[in-house]
Structure 1
Amino acid sequence: MKISPRTVLKIARLYQLADDNTPVKALCRLKVQTDESHIVAEFILNKQHFAVLYGSIVDEESIDELWPDRPANAEILPNPLDSSCTETPFQGKFVIMLHIVPTKQRLDVHLSTVFDLSISRSLWQKYIKAGYVSVNQRVVTTPKFEVDETDEIAVKLPEQEQASTELPILYEDDDVMVVNKPSGLLTHAKGGLSTEPTVAEIIRPKTSFASDTDRPGIVHRLDRDTSGVLIIAKNPDAAAHLQRQFAQRTTKKTYLAATDGVPKLAAAKIDLPIGRNPSAPSTFRVDPNGKPAQTAYRVLAATDTRALIELKPTTGRTHQLRVHMAYLNTPILGDRVYGKPNASRLMLHAQKLEITLPSGERKTFEAATPEEFKQLFPEEL
């Protein structure tokens, strides 16, 4: 069986839902389900949701059989020709018209449960607030804005930039993945929308941990411009196991840095608390009222103007290594925040990570020294 939009409109006119001047294009979102004996045609007309059952054997008693997934909020409209029966004769067959009463729900809920199941509700909220969603040709920036199935919802999401480099995998099993993060690549989005690639988005298909957030798989982070070893959890149990070790400081981290200047001592332990800088809230500084922070360092090589240094933090404060080295008047080369933009990149590399895997095995992962370091210290590296 077949039914044309023009026939659907004729039936709508029969039920006085449209008049002779109503054009076919007034039928919006026409959706037709066909069967050998009948047709179900859903449509929006004048911002109302309707459905037509059309066929040779159509009556009220057989609706559940003919349309088993009929919405619970579908109400049968009266026969416009004979109020004593439900089905209406039309062109040698019968029709039943139903009005589907709109069900209101939040815009973010609608988008995450109906529009695209692959995008989490929290991410939809960010898209809405950023102005990427419109309802009935008007941009809506409030996630709790209420919509129903009669509303015309349009989404224009930002195009995701393609990663300019592959993510080198150092190790992978059923629980974790260890990668060598390139300098310049974000670990995860910074709380808002990010149209650039991140480690989190690249590995999203491989993890079930925090999959409804913008930080899937992430249990620790490296600054954008820091390269090196990053371990990722592939499931919630693995994440809890790894996070516990970072919190209890049983992991051992080794970094390689090139500094602008040479420390006075060839080796030392820096024990200086770090706090947020109130005059520049996105940065940090040594602060007696800050959180404890300890970094052991050892000079591996030095010239008159720079040094190659091994850094071993025992705490994990934000920007810790960068702040501590800047405090010694030997900021890390290329540090645009705490030093000078005097290198092609931030010369900080997470070289090694020693950690116990969920399997119980203690392993040390190592990321090869970047070429930029070898160019500065060719004899030592």
Structure 2
Amino acid sequence: MQKAYKLLAAQKNLSHSQAKALIDKGLVLANGKKLTLARTELPQNTSFSLIEIQKPQVLFVDENLLAIDKPAFVESYDLQSYYRNDGWMLLHRLDRETSGVILLVREDSAFSKKAKEAFKKREVYKEYQAVVSGIIPESLSINKPISTTKKGFARSKVDKNGQEAITHIEPLSVVGKKTLLKVVIPTGRTHQIRVHLSSLHHPIIGDSLYGGISARRLLLHAHKIRLLGYEIVSTPPKDFSL
């Protein structure tokens, strides 16, 4: 037995720090399963493979708005750095493993101020797709307050003393013991969809933080946003086809 990062480094001709960074980013599969802890003890004959990060694609751009199709495993702030030289800044964020529509606006522009105000007033339509464990047979709304702690990394929970959080879900298809959901959130708390679905005992597949079964990635995708007359849509990846 040997620590995972040391085995990976030897197998892929990487430094120990490079191997640790890849594991920390969720980009390493050990015998086909995602590896989450660099110091996990594994057999010498463990087979490693690396998840390839897709390139961000521009969905729409004009003088006010830049809409990017964010791949899974890309940090929102890294996206901003790609486009910062052209004057774009993030309007909102997505979790690292969440894919889909993310919006950037011109810094300090009149439109950016209107857009930020629209988010505050809950005038933005945000629709996601998620694949969860178990069968959810009918539409329902989840109204459970959420609180978040940040000690090294963010973790949220349902908490009666937390902030208001509302999630609307609708089943789109069911195959075996998995349900593909349409998810609409009027509010935008940290990890809101993930926490609310876990609270129903239907965690998102790939969500190791909130009880989801292991998968190559978190199966959560920002499908559609409507904001100030704009509607931007991102087609979900093939992983979401049930």
TM exceeds 0.5? Answer: yes
Quick check: 1:175–1:235 contact (8 Å CA) kept in 2?
no
Give every structure 1 segment of 4 or more consecutive aligned residues whose post-TM-superposition deviation is greater than 6 Å.
Answer: 278-281
Cα distance in 1, alignment partners of residues 146 and 140 from structure 2: 18
TM-score (norm 1): 0.48
Residue among 280, 302, 308 paired with 2:180 = 308
Cα distance in 2, alignment partners of residues 279 and 233 from structure 1: 30
SS for the counterpart of 1:297 is: strand
Cα distance in 1, alignment partners of residues 54 and 82 from structure 2: 11
Identity %: 29
Confirm whether residue 334 of structure 1 aligns to residue 223 of structure 2.
no
Q: State the one-letter code of the partner of 1:353.
A: I
Cα distance in 2, alignment partners of residues 279 and 174 from structure 1: 38
- Give the 3 Å change call, closer, same or farther, for CA 205–278 of structure 1 in structure 2: closer
Residue among 84, 89, 104 paired with 1:204 = 84
Residue among 87, 106, 114 paired with 1:241 = 114
Greater Rg over alpha carbons, structure: 1
**1:261-316 CA distances to partner (integer Å, 9 max, x unpaired)?**
123x5100100000125999721100000000000000111133110000000100
* RMSD over aligned Cα atoms: 1.9
- Give the 3 Å change call, closer, same or farther, for CA 165–292 of structure 1 in structure 2: same
Quick check: 2:148–2:190 contact (8 Å CA) kept in 1?
no
Shift of 1:203: 1.1
Equivalence map 1:366-377=2 (5 Å) = 366-374=233-241, 377=242
Residue among 288, 298, 320 paired with 2:160 = 288
Confirm whether residue 262 of structure 1 aligns to residue 122 of structure 2.
no
SS for the counterpart of 1:331 is: coil
**1:92-112 CA distances to partner (integer Å, 9 max, x unpaired)?**
xxxxxxxxxxxxxxxxxxxxx
Structure 2 segments unaligned to the other structure (5+ residues): 1-51
**1:148-177 CA distances to partner (integer Å, 9 max, x unpaired)?**
xxxxxxxxxxxxxxx954320011011210
Which has a greater percent of strand?
2
Q: State the one-letter code of the partner of 2:174.
A: A
Cα distance in 2, alignment partners of residues 281 and 290 from structure 1: 18
Shift of 1:331: 0.3
Equivalence map 1:135-146=2 (5 Å) = none
Quick check: 1:258–1:333 contact (8 Å CA) kept in 2?
yes
**1:38-76 CA distances to partner (integer Å, 9 max, x unpaired)?**
xxxxxxxxxxxxxxxxxxxxxxxxxxxxxxxxxxxxxxx
Q: Which structure has more RCO (C-alpha within 8 Å, separation ≥ 6)?
A: 2
TM-score (norm 2): 0.74
Quick check: 1:221–1:230 contact (8 Å CA) kept in 2?
yes
Cα distance in 2, alignment partners of residues 168 and 243 from structure 1: 23
SS for the counterpart of 2:90 is: coil
Cα distance in 2, alignment partners of residues 276 and 235 from structure 1: 28
Q: In the alignment, what sits opposite 1:346?
A: 218
SS for the counterpart of 1:236 is: coil
Structure 1 segments unaligned to the other structure (5+ residues): 1-162, 189-197, 209-216, 357-361
Q: How many residues align?
A: 190
Equivalence map 1:103-182=2 (5 Å) = 164-182=53-71
